[in-house]
Structure 1
Amino acid sequence: MTGHEGPAVRFAIMGPARVWRGEDEVDLGPVQQRALLALLMARAGDVVSTDEMTTLLWRGDPPADPVNAIYRHVGVLRRLLQPQLPVRSVGRWLLRESSGYRLAADVAAVDLLRFRDQVRRAKQLARAGDAEQAVTIFREALDLRSGAAASGLPTDIRAHSAFAAIDSEYLAAVKHAADAALACAVGPAMVPVLHRVAAEHPLDEAVQARLVLCLAASGQRAEALDKWHEVRRVLAAELGVPPGAELRAAQQKVLVGTVVPAEREGAAYAGAPPQGEAPPTEGVRAPGFSAALAPRPSDSSAGVRVVTRPAQLPPDLAPFAGRQRELDLATGFLSLYDGSGATAIVAIQGMAGVGKSTTAVHWARQVAHRFPDGQLYVNLRGFEPGAQAVDPGDAIRVLLEALGVTADQIPAALNARVSLYRTLLAGRRILVFLDNARDAVQVRPLLPGGGGCLVLVTSRDRLLGLAAVDGARIIQLGLLSDTEARELLTRRLGEARLAAEPAAAADIIATCAGLPLALALVASRAAARPRFPLSAVVAELRGSRHGLLDTLRDRDPMGDLEAVLSWSYDALSRQAARVLRLTVLHPGPDITRSAVASLAGVGVREADRLLHELVRTNMLVEHRPGRFTCHDLLREYAAKRIAHDSAAERSAAGLRLLDHYVGTARTAAHLLSPWWVEAEPMEASAGVVCEEFADAGQALVWFSAERVVLRELVAHAARKGAHGHVWRLAWAMERFLDRQGHANDAVKILGAGLSAALREGNRSAQAHLHRALARANTRLGRHGTARRHIRTSLTVFAEIGDSLGLAHAHRCHGWIMDQLGRYEASLGEARQALVLYRSLGNRVAEISALHALGWTHLLRGEPRLAEGYFARSITSIKAYRDPYAEASAWYSLGCSRQEMGQYDAALECYRTALAGYRDGADHYNEATVLDRMGDALRALGDLAAAHRMWGDAIDVMAQFDGAATDAVRAKRDADSVPEAGLFG
C-alpha cells in the first residue's frame, strides 16, 4: 500500500477486458498492454511468469529483450490504474514476484473472483437442500458475465488456456445452476441464460438437455421438443452422431410429462408478463385486427393463452466464421436498451460481398430467444439486379400478413398501415429483420412505435440518417482479417486440406483480399474438386487473363462476384459512377478530394458530393480523414468498366492527375524549403485543382502521405513519355526525401527525373538532379557514384552560368567530403559556396554555409569553434522566420555543447530543436534529436530517462531507417535498467 490509491478500481475479465477507476473506465491502450492485464486478471491472485506473458504477447516471435518490454507495459499499466503514483513506486495492484507479476486484488475488485465466490456459496446452499436460494445466488454469479473471456482481443490471444478455462468454468456453473433450478421447480428462471449458452455451445449435449427440460418446466412443451429436434439435426450434420443418453432422457421426460411446468404466479421465465399484467395482445383491437392475432384459449386446463408467433429468420450459415468483435459489439448495443422502453435498432452496413446478411442472420439467431413473440423478416431489395427497392407500404403489407392480418383487413393508405403495424407490435417483444435496405427513408416507416422490440437492418448504405434521427447503432462490417479468412476456409474445406498446403491457402487469402464472398466462392470451387490440390486453385485464380472477377463467374447471380458488385454500381448516379471508374487511373493506395476533383475535371464541392455518394454506398471508404480507398476487387471491377470510356477521356483525366501532383508538389516543396531553388512551373490543364497548405507542417504531412503515390506516378509518367512531369516531380520531392531519410526512394525517383531531363534536354534540371543524386547516394554509402554526380553537377552549373546552383553544388560537395572524413577539402568547398552566396547577396544561403562550416569543425574535434558558427546561425536565422533552419541550428549547437561535456546545456538546446521539428511534423529529425538526448542523459547518469528517450526515438525512427533503429536499440539494450527505477 502506498497511500496513492485514489478511487476504487474494478476489474472485469468475464467479457471484454475492462477496468474502472471509480465511475470512469480506463483506456488500457494498445493490444499487447490489454492482453497482459487480461492475463493477470484471468490469474487474479496468482503469479504469472514472464515466460507465459512472453508466449501470450508475441506468440513465438518475441523481441530481443521481452522481459524489458514487459517491464515497460507494466509500468504504463501501473500509472493508468493509479495516475498519481510516484515515479519509483510499485503501486497497489501489479506486484513483482521472483518469476513474474501478480494482480493483487480482493474478491470485490475482480468480477472473476466474485463469480467464483458466489458459485461456491450457491453450491453449498444446494448441498444443504436450499435449492431455491442457491438458484438466486447462481443467477447473480452468472449475470456477471458479459461475453466470452477477454472478448475483443485477437483470436489467437483469446485462445490462451487461461481465458478458455474461464469460459469452461462459466459453462460448468450454468449446468449446476440449471440442476438446482429443476430440483426446486424454478426451471423457467434459467431459460434466458440457457438459451444464450446453448447458442454458444450447440454441440454440448448436457447444456442442450438442460435447456429442453427448463423450457418444458416453463410450460413451453412444444418449444422444448422443437429444440430437441433442432439439436438432433445439428449433431447429425456436424458430428454424424445421434443424441446421447442425456438428451434422449430429457426428451423422454418431456414426452411422458414428468417435467412439471412451474406455476405462472411468481415464475420468472422469459416472456412472462409481470403478475396481474395482461398477456401481450389482450385488449388490442385496432381497426382491421385479425382474429388470428387475438389471444385464444388453449386446450390446457390451466387456461394459458397463446398468440400467433412468426418465425421468419433465414437459415444460419453452418460454416459461419469470424466476426466475433462485431457480434460482441451488436450484443453490447442490445444490452444498452434493456429496460429502457425504447426500440433497439442495430444496423450492419458495408460493401457488396462483405457478409452483412450472413452476419446479421447469425447474430439474430443468437439473440432470438430474447424476443419470445417471434421474428419478422423482409428483403427490402435495396440493391438487387433488375428490381426496384421495395416500397415501404409494400414492405409493411408483408409484415402485417406475417402477423396474421388478412389481405382485406390491410388499409390502403401508408399512414394507416404504419399505424396498424405499430399497434400490433405494441407490448410485444419481436425481432424485425430488414435485410438489404436502400436507405434510411425506406426503413423509417417500418420501425415499431414502442419499446421491447429489436430492429436489425442490413444495407450497403451508411444509414447515417437512421443513426442521427432514430438512434440506430451502426456496425461497419469490414474485410476479414487473415486469421478470420483462414477460419472461413477451414470451416468449408477442413483443417487437414489447408495444413497440407499452407502456402497455397495463404495465396488464396491474399488473392481474395479479405472479401468473404470471394473466399466463399473460391472455397466452394475447391470443395467441389476435393482431389485437386489447392495450388491448382491458386493457379486458376492467377492464370486468368481477365482477372479474378471473370474467374469467379457463375450462372447464379448471387454466386457471381461481378454481378453482386454491379448491383451497387448500377445504383450510383451517372457522375458518381464516372468518378469511381476514373479512380483506377490513380496508382493508389488512396486518393484525396482535390485529386478526385482534378481527375474528374470538377470543382472540389462537386467532388465532395460525389465522394459522399460513393462512401455512403460503400463503393469507397474514407479510411483516414480526407483520404479515400476501395477494395482491390472493386478496383478491378471499375477497371473493366473504364475500358468502355473513350481513349481521349482517359488520356485527359490522366494528364489532369499528373498536373495536379506536379502543381501540388511544387507548392509543398516551396513551403518546406522557401529559400531553395524551384523548378520552372508548367501550365496546368483546365479543371486541375491543387492542394493548399497553411504551413510547412501541412506540406510535410502531404508529402509523407503521398510518397508512394508520387513514386508510382513518376514511374507511370516515365512510361508514358511525360518527361516534363517526371523531372519536375523528382525535383519537387528532393528536399522531402532527403530530410525524411528516404534515400532508396530518392535514388530511384531522382534517377528517373535525370533520365527525363536528359531526354528533354533541360540542362538546369540535369544539374540540379545530379546534385540531388550525389547527396542521396552518399546517404547510402555509394561514395564513388556520389562523387561522379557532384562533379557533373558542378560542371553543368558552371557551363550554364547558374551561380546560385553552383554555390549549392559546392556546399553539397563539402558535405560529401565530411562523410568521407576529408575535412580540409570540405572546408574549401564550403568557403567557395560562401563566397558565391555573398556575391549574390543571398543572406539565408550564406547563413547555411556558415552552419556547414560549423559542422565540419565539430567533426574535426573542434566543438568550441563550431559553437561560435552555430550561435551566429541562430541569431541570424531568426530574422527570416524559417522554423526548420532554426531547429537545425539549435540541434547543432546542442551537439557542440555535448561534445564539450556541457550535457545540461546540450539538453536545453535539444528541447528547443525538438519542439521545432515536432511543430513542423519532421519526424526523421525528431528521432535524431531524441537519440542525442538519450546519449546526454546517459552521460548524466540518468539511465532510466535515457532509456525512455531511446525508446521514443526507436518508435519514431522505425518508420524510416531500419539500420538506425537497430543501432539505437543496441545502444539501449547494452545497459540494463534497474527495475525499481523506471518500472518499480
Structure 2
Amino acid sequence: MPKLSYGGRTVAGVSEVEESRAFGELVRAHRRRLGLTQEELATKAGLSVRSIVKIEGGRTAAPRPPTVRLLADVFGLTGADAEHFRRCAAGAAEPPAAPPRAGVPAQLPPDVSAFTGREEQLGALDAAADQATAVLVAVVTGPAGAGKTALAVRWAHRVRERFPDGQLYLNLRGSDPAQPMTAADALVRLLAALGVTGEEVPVDVDDRAARFRTEIADRRVLLLLDNASTAGQVRPLLPGTASSAVLVTSRDALAGLVAVDGAHRLAVGLLPPGDAHALLRRLIGPRAAAAEDAVARIAEQCARLPLALRVAAELAASRADTGLDDLAAELHDQRRRLDLLVVDDDPRASVRVVLSWSIRHLPPGVARTFALLGLHPGPDLDAHAAAALTGAALGPARGELELLARANLVHRTGPGRYGMHDLLRAYALELAPGGPQLDGLLDYYRAAAAAAMNVAYPTDAHHRPAVPPAAGPLPELADREAARAWLDRERAVLIAIVAGAAAAGRPGHAVDLARVLARHLGADPADAVTVHGHALDAALASGDRAGEAHSRNVLGVALLRLGRPAAVEVLERAVELFAAIGDPAGQARALNNLGYAASRQGRLPSAVASFEAALRLFRQVGDRTGAARTLNNLGLAEERQGRYAAAEQHHLEALALYRALGDPGGEAGALTDLGIAEHRLGRLDEAAEHHRQALSMFLDGLDRVGEAWARNGLGEAALALGNPAGAVDHHTAALDAATAAGVRDQQARAHRGLGEAHEALRDRASARTHRVLAATLYAELGMPEPA
C-alpha cells in the first residue's frame, strides 16, 4: 500500500490535484495519530463521512476555511502547527511528495476455456454494474459443480478494464471439507495484496476490516470472493465506497447479504440442454458430431452440470477407441447402481456418478492417491507432500499428480504444484482410507519445515524442538535463499497444516510446527498470531503444559510486535508455566521477551529486572546465545535510563559472546547497539564506524530488520556530526528497509530522525510531517517517544 513516506525537496508548479492529495495525506496522518476512524473524525468535526473520504483521497478542491478550522480543532493544532495546516489546505505550504503507489494487483484466475452459455447471467451482471449507485455486491449462487466460479471469472475478465486499480481474488474455501477461511485470515491476504503487510496489519478482525475499507476507499478495484460459506464470512470484506465492486460465489443463498447489504443474487442452475450439448461437442471434438444421441444422453446423465460435463468429456477423449454410445451405456449402468440420479435431480449425486466412473478407470495407485489428497488441509501441494501422503517415492508421486491433472481431477496452481476443486476434494475425502496417512503428511511438513529453518536460521537451531525424521524425501534446500524461498512458498500451507493438526487431534504436531516456524514468522506478526493461537488451543485441549508455555511465549512476542497490551499478560503466564514445569531455558526466553515488552512500554526498571533474571538463567543452563541477546537488550534498557557506560559494557560482552559463537547476525546486532551507546557517550566517529560494520553484515545476511537498525544509527550519527543531508539519506534508506520488513518501531525511529534532519536543513514543512508520522506510530505501538 502507499506508505506515508515523504521527501523534503521543494516542488515547483504543484497542481491542484497534487495539493489536494498532500492535504489529504496530512489529514489522514493526524487522524491516525489520534486513533480515529473516518466515521469518528466526521462525527467529532461535524462533517459528513463522504467529506472526510473525499478530503483524504484528494478528490476535492481546497476545503472551505470553516472545514479546515473544524479539523484543526479536532486535531488539537495550535500556533505554528495550525498555521501550517491551514497553509497546506490552501496549497500555500510545501506539499509532501506523493507516496509511492503499490503495484496494481491482477489476481484473477485464467478465463475458462470452452466457456459455453450463461449469456443471460452475464447480461444480468452487466445490468447490475451499470445501475449501481452504491458499492456493487453480486452473489452468484447455485449447486456444487454448476460453474459459478467459471461464470464469475468470465465476467470479471470482461469488465476488468473498468477497475484500473486492480482485481483481487480470494478462495474463501467455504465448502472445503476441512476449515473455511476466516474473515480475519482473508483480510490479511487482501491487505497484503494492497501493500499492507507485516506489523501494519491489525490483530482484531474489526480493525482489519476498517483498515481494508480505508485502503480501498479511493480505488476502483474488483474483488472476487470465491466459494463463500456464510454472509458473516463475507461482510467484513466488503468495501465501504461505490468505487469498487464485489462478486461472490457460494453454494449458499447468502440471504443475509441480500437482505442487509443490498446484494444482487444471481442463481446459476443446470445448463440448458443446447448449451450442455454444445459444451460436450467442443470438448470431445469431431466424433461427437456423429453421435448426437449419445452426447444428449451423457449430458443428462451428468445432470448438465459443467464440472461433470468436463470430466465426462475428458474421459471420453482419453478413451478414443471406445464409442460414445458405449460410454453412455456404461454411465447409465453406473447411474443405476449408485441410484443417485433419480433423487430429485440432485446435482451433487450426478457429479458423484461421473466422478466414480472417472476414478474406476484410473490405475489403482492413482485412484488411491486421488482419495488421499482429500486429507490435505492446505490450498495446494507438491510432489513431496503427495509422496508423504501415499508413501510413494518422489518420482511416482509426481507422475500420479500429472495423471490426475490430465484427468481434470487436480489443477496446476504453479510450477510443480497442484490444487483440487472443493467438490473434488470432498469426494476424495469420502474415498480416503483411515489410518496413518495424515500422520505421515504432518510428519513430513514438520520435518521439512525444521530442515528449512536450520538452513535459513542456523544459529537458532538449538532453540527449536528436535523433530523426528519424515519417512519420505525432503525438498532440496541448497542454501539460505532456497530455504527461505521454500518457507515463503509453503507459508499458506504450513499455516493450514498447524490448524489442521490442531483440529485433527494431533496437538504435538501443531505445537512443534508452530515452534519450528517461530523465527520465520517473526517478521509477519499477524500470521504468527494465527499460527501460535492454533498451537495454544491444541496445547490447552490436550493438557500439554510445556506446549502451552512455548506457545504463549511466541504468541506474546507476536502480540507485542503488533503493539497489543495483552502481550504482557500472555508472557507473564509463559514465565509462570516454564517455572512450574522446571524448564529454566524456556523461563529465561520468556523473561527476556517480558523485559523487551516492558522496555517498549517505557517501564525500564521492570525491564532491567526481567533481563537480569533471564541472564542469570541463561548462564545457569549454559545458553550463550540467549545470554548474548539478553545482554544486548539489557544494554539498550540501560542506555534509555542514561547509564551509557553500563550499556556499553553490556554490548561489549554480548559482542564477545557472538564472536566466540560464530554468529554474524548476532555480532551485527551487538555492533549497532554498541554504536548507540557510543553515540550517547560522545564518541561519534566510533559509533558511525560500528554502525557501518553492522550494516555490511546485515546486508550480507539479507536481514532487513537489522539493516533498518544500522541505517537509523548511521543517520543519527551523521546529524550529530553536522551532516543533516547525509542523515536524510540514511534515515530514508532505513525507512525503506523497515517498511519492507514490517518493523514499525524502526519506521517510527526513521521518521523521527527525518524530522530532526529536515529541521536542521530548515525544511520545516517536511520536519512537521515526519514528526506527526513518528508520533502516530509510537502511539499506535504503545511506546513512549524517545527523549
TM-score by length of 1: 0.43
Number of the residue aligned with 1:754: 536
Q: For residues 585 and 593 of structure 1, do their structure 2 counterparts lie closer, same or farther at Cα, with a shift above 3 Å needed?
A: same
Number of the residue aligned with 2:445: 661
TM-fit CA distance, 1:725? 1.5
Instruction: For 1:103-114, list aligned pairs within 5 A.
Output: none
Deviations 1:478-526 (A, max 9, x none): xxxxxxx9xx999845865412237785545999898568636999xxx
Structure 2: distance between partners of 1:936 and 1:735: 30
Please tell me the residue identity of whatever aligns with 1:543.
A
- Asked if the contact 1:700/1:920 (under 8 Å) is kept, the reply is no
Q: For residues 53 and 951 of structure 1, do their structure 2 counterparts lie closer, same or farther at Cα, with a shift above 3 Å needed?
A: farther
Deviations 1:322-369 (A, max 9, x none): x9xxxxxxxxxxxxxxxxxxxxxxxxxx978246999xxxxxxxxxxx
Which residue of the other structure, out of 727, 740, 754, is the alignment partner of 2:511? 727
Deviations 1:685-738 (A, max 9, x none): x5x444454455544444444333333322222222221112212222333333
Number of the residue aligned with 1:853: 634
Number of the residue aligned with 2:306: 561
TM-fit CA distance, 1:576? 6.3
Number of the residue aligned with 2:658: 877
Deviations 1:443-487 (A, max 9, x none): xxxxxxxxxxxxxxxxxxxxxxxxxxxxxxxxxxxxxxxxxx9xx
- Asked if the contact 2:575/2:587 (under 8 Å) is kept, the reply is yes
Number of the residue aligned with 1:201: none
Asked if 1:817 corresponds to 2:562, the answer is no
TM-fit CA distance, 1:854? 1.9
For 1:876, what is the secondary structure of its paired residue?
Answer: helix
Please tell me the residue identity of whatever aligns with 2:517.
M
Structure 1: distance between partners of 2:454 and 2:505: 26
Deviations 1:773-810 (A, max 9, x none): 44344334444x44444444344433433333333344
Structure 2: distance between partners of 1:703 and 1:357: 40
Deviations 1:724-764 (A, max 9, x none): 112212222333333x2x33443443343233223333333
Which residue of the other structure, out of 624, 630, 636, is the alignment partner of 2:422? 636
Which residue of the other structure, out of 104, 123, 129, is the alignment partner of 1:498? 129
Please tell me the residue identity of whatever aligns with 1:501.
A
Which residue of the other structure, out of 386, 390, 394, is the alignment partner of 1:604? 394
Instruction: For 1:31-50, list aligned pairs within 5 A.
Output: none
Asked if 1:743 corresponds to 2:525, the answer is yes
TM-score by length of 2: 0.52
Number of the residue aligned with 1:888: 669
Deviations 1:574-623 (A, max 9, x none): 56676566555444444344223323432233344445667789964454
Asked if 1:594 corresponds to 2:384, the answer is yes
- Asked if the contact 1:490/1:498 (under 8 Å) is kept, the reply is no
Please tell me the residue identity of whatever aligns with 1:595.
A
TM-fit CA distance, 1:937? 4.6
Q: For residues 814 and 499 of structure 1, do their structure 2 counterparts lie closer, same or farther at Cα, with a shift above 3 Å needed?
A: same
Structure 2: distance between partners of 1:653 and 1:906: 57
Identity, % of aligned positions:
24
Structure 1: stretches of 5+ with no match in the other structure: 1-30, 32-46, 67-98, 101-152, 157-322, 324-349, 359-484, 524-534, 980-984
Structure 1: distance between partners of 2:381 and 2:515: 22
Which residue of the other structure, out of 105, 112, 133, is the alignment partner of 1:353? 112
Please tell me the residue identity of whatever aligns with 1:716.
G
- Asked if the contact 1:550/1:562 (under 8 Å) is kept, the reply is no
TM-fit CA distance, 1:562? 0.8
CA RMSD of aligned residues (A): 5.4
Deviations 1:288-336 (A, max 9, x none): xxxxxxxxxxxxxxxxxxxxxxxxxxxxxxxxxxx9xxxxxxxxxxxxx
- Asked if the contact 2:141/2:249 (under 8 Å) is kept, the reply is no
Q: For residues 154 and 668 of structure 1, do their structure 2 counterparts lie closer, same or farther at Cα, with a shift above 3 Å needed?
A: closer
Structure 1: distance between partners of 2:129 and 2:436: 47
Please tell me the residue identity of whatever aligns with 2:492.
V
Instruction: For 1:697-708, list aligned pairs within 5 A.
Output: 698-708=482-492
Structure 2: distance between partners of 1:770 and 1:676: 19
- Asked if the contact 1:714/1:749 (under 8 Å) is kept, the reply is yes
Q: For residues 544 and 800 of structure 1, do their structure 2 counterparts lie closer, same or farther at Cα, with a shift above 3 Å needed?
A: closer
Structure 2: distance between partners of 1:497 and 1:777: 43
Which residue of the other structure, out of 721, 745, 769, is the alignment partner of 2:551? 769
Q: For residues 608 and 639 of structure 1, do their structure 2 counterparts lie closer, same or farther at Cα, with a shift above 3 Å needed?
A: closer
Q: For residues 610 and 816 of structure 1, do their structure 2 counterparts lie closer, same or farther at Cα, with a shift above 3 Å needed?
A: same
Structure 2: distance between partners of 1:354 and 1:938: 61
Please tell me the residue identity of whatever aligns with 1:662.
R
Q: For residues 849 and 646 of structure 1, do their structure 2 counterparts lie closer, same or farther at Cα, with a shift above 3 Å needed?
A: closer
Number of the residue aligned with 2:354: none
Instruction: Give 1 or 2: higher helix fraction.
Output: 2
Instruction: Report which of the two structures shows the higher radius of gyration computed on alpha carbons.
Output: 1
Q: For residues 591 and 872 of structure 1, do their structure 2 counterparts lie closer, same or farther at Cα, with a shift above 3 Å needed?
A: same
Instruction: For 1:882-921, list aligned pairs within 5 A.
Output: 882-900=663-681, 905-921=686-702
Q: For residues 607 and 52 of structure 1, do their structure 2 counterparts lie closer, same or farther at Cα, with a shift above 3 Å needed?
A: farther
Instruction: For 1:157-306, list aligned pairs within 5 A.
Output: none
TM-fit CA distance, 1:543? 2.2
Q: For residues 155 and 606 of structure 1, do their structure 2 counterparts lie closer, same or farther at Cα, with a shift above 3 Å needed?
A: closer
Number of the residue aligned with 2:50: none
Please tell me the residue identity of whatever aligns with 1:594.
H
TM-fit CA distance, 1:565? 4.0
Asked if 1:863 corresponds to 2:644, the answer is yes
Instruction: For 1:49-60, list aligned pairs within 5 A.
Output: none
Structure 2: distance between partners of 1:816 and 1:515: 49
Asked if 1:543 corresponds to 2:253, the answer is yes
Structure 2: stretches of 5+ with no match in the other structure: 3-11, 25-52, 60-93, 96-102, 159-244, 256-265, 280-304, 319-357, 764-787
Q: For residues 876 and 507 of structure 1, do their structure 2 counterparts lie closer, same or farther at Cα, with a shift above 3 Å needed?
A: same
Structure 1: distance between partners of 2:619 and 2:432: 56
Number of the residue aligned with 1:400: none
TM-fit CA distance, 1:567? 5.7
Structure 2: distance between partners of 1:509 and 1:926: 48
For 1:897, what is the secondary structure of its paired residue?
Answer: helix
TM-fit CA distance, 1:957? 1.9
Number of the residue aligned with 1:78: none
For 1:858, what is the secondary structure of its paired residue?
Answer: helix
